[in-house]
Chain A
């Protein structure tokens, strides 16, 4: 099994963190602890779902992206945008306006990610026919889900479909198109506009693939603000003619909930939001649910429309995209002289690049590599659990009594961290008040235990 740290796009800024523990309490893999008044991330447990980012009240959790000016390192600057980006804008702003502003901002080409769906949907259907031994097959679309399965459901890694998501397929297509036009590789910069942290982590540290054709990543909220402001200032004047064709209805809705499941043959289910996914995977793992052919699993509620870097309300984004999908007619497609060819014209090449390597498990649940040691640690955890109050208050700096007990068994915590234990030890004269204050300060920092002077004035 693989262990060790993985690239994470989520970072906690120590200078901004106030140690409020909101992030610790919502993390679905219990990857966060509070130490010295700051949140600390356990890299091997984090799946980059971004739940912590959503709840941080002081924006101390940031999603690392590339500097926008980095695009100017390249002569040919391609924005690879997912359909949900268009879904961020009010209905009265057209795709043409959005794209023309993006060209003014410095991109030389714009291409929608979901074009890759035209290649992928056929590949998935072929794959599901050939790999019936690993049912239910699980979509590889959402990188947070892939990581979740690696760390929490290691027995299901072989169920993940070993095909690239639309993003990678489109990126390979763009690179090939530009190279065919005679542009040298070093002048091509493909920049992905991401709705979430997990996609960034997947690009910087791909699972089941060695390199990515993508040069950089730009956060969707950042680009949305930049584009929307310019659209507002221009008062609706649009100039450029779109150079890429409209997405088909199927492709437009691919990243939304049921976007994949509705296109795959057999019994398919779509489940969104990470806790819902965890609940369902538990049942799949026990074989309580059988006879499902394909599972579309997404970490965010309403899938990518609910990505942590989106600005618009997710339900409105979904409505807009569904409207776009309904208004699609193949005959409407413009044929701009500079437009990229249809992605299907490179079907053979892209299908040859579509596979990914087997995905390896990296369980975070094991207490020790060695089973005898793990049993000793588990007995210790069970003994500690007998002493803890089971209220999951989080005062110890761990999200639950269970996680504190495990931290202690792993040598990463002490039982005096528990406020209930402290009180009992103080009463029995086994711990001094000074010592207990010191323990609290080691968890919550000095600020939160130094407020006595304020009490007098109440």
Chain B
């Protein structure tokens, strides 16, 4: 069992993707199937960008064992009022300036769902959002 933690700064798109790049490097070293790595990294990248685009700050906790990878993202931010609506393709609350940078197409949460085996989102408006995702390695 291995544990890793990363801090994410809200609004800093220059560093968005740092945690997913790090995790990718780790999973390559652990000889995880490249196709599984790709799914995990894509899901984490989306979730990481969500924090950067919407929240003030957040932390990522990653647990790796030989069966599965569990990722938990906890942010302090506006929260999501209607999670079901946010899960719909194309729905986005991103500001025009975020969209200009090529983010905020409303594909974030659906993409995370498609690229993980288990997804759990809990949120409190004006407090923050917690996203938990699990990917199994031996399926």
Contacts and interface: CB of A to CB of B under 8 A. Distances in A.
A366 B27 CA distance: 8
Interface string B11-26: 0000001001100111
Interface stretch (B30-38, B51-59, B92-100, B116-124): B30-38
Contacts of B24: 285-286
B66 A375 contact: yes
A288 B17 contact: yes
Q: Is the interface of B mostly helix, strand, loop or mixed?
A: helix
Contacts of A361: 34
A370 B66 CA distance: 9
A374 interface: yes
Contacts of B32: 371
Interface in B28-47: 28-32, 34-35, 37-38, 41-42, 45
Contacts of A372: 66
A263 interface: no
B35 to A, nearest CB: 7
A155 B34 CA distance: 5
Contacts of A357: none
A370 B32 CA distance: 9
Interface in A267-297: 282-283, 285-288
A378 B26 contact: yes
Interface of A: 154-155, 282-283, 285-288, 361, 363, 365-372, 374-375, 378-379
Interface of B: 2, 17, 20-21, 24-26, 28-32, 34-35, 37-38, 41-42, 45, 64-66, 137
B45 to A, nearest CB: 5
Contacts of A285: 24, 38, 41
Contacts of A374: 29-31
A286 B42 CA distance: 6
A288 B45 contact: yes
A259 to B, nearest CB: 28
Contacts of A155: 34-35, 37-38
A154 B25 CA distance: 12
A367 B30 contact: yes
A366 B41 contact: no
Contacts of A379: 2
A90 to B, nearest CB: 46
Nearest to B67: A371
Contacts of B38: 155, 285, 287
